[in-house]
Amino acid sequence: QVLDASSLSFNTRLKWFVICFVSGIFFSILGTGLLWLPGGIKFFAVFYTLGNIAALASTCFLMGPMKQLKKMFETTRLLATVVMLV
């Protein structure tokens, strides 16, 4: 069903998933490491946020953005989605 709605091939979507997921992990770890520097809370906030955005983007490549949004706002996941976004 997703393959029919997407113009990207499965291999392309899988490659971008890996790229976004690895960069998301990298940014999150980098932000956590920079937290210990003087004034590092600002760097932590920026890099950890970039890491979360990249991790969310990675799953968009696998499922598609609309399907991901529908799943994020299901009643069983609504509280977790709101907490993550806030």
Q: Among residues 17, 40, 16, which one has the least CA distance to residue 30?
A: 40
pLDDT tens readout for residues 27-68: 999 999 998 888 889 999 999 999 999 998 998 888 888 888
Sequential DSSP letters for 10-61? HHHHHHHHHHHHHHHHHHHHHHHHHTTSTTHHHHHHHHHHHHHHHHHHHHHH
Mean pLDDT (whole number) for 2-13: 70
Percent of the chain whose pLDDT exceeds 90 = 44
pLDDT at 1: 46
Higher-scoring residue by pLDDT: 15, 72:
15
Global pTM reads: 0.76
Hey, is 64 helix, strand or coil? coil
pLDDT tens readout for residues 61-82: 888 888 888 888 888 989 988 9
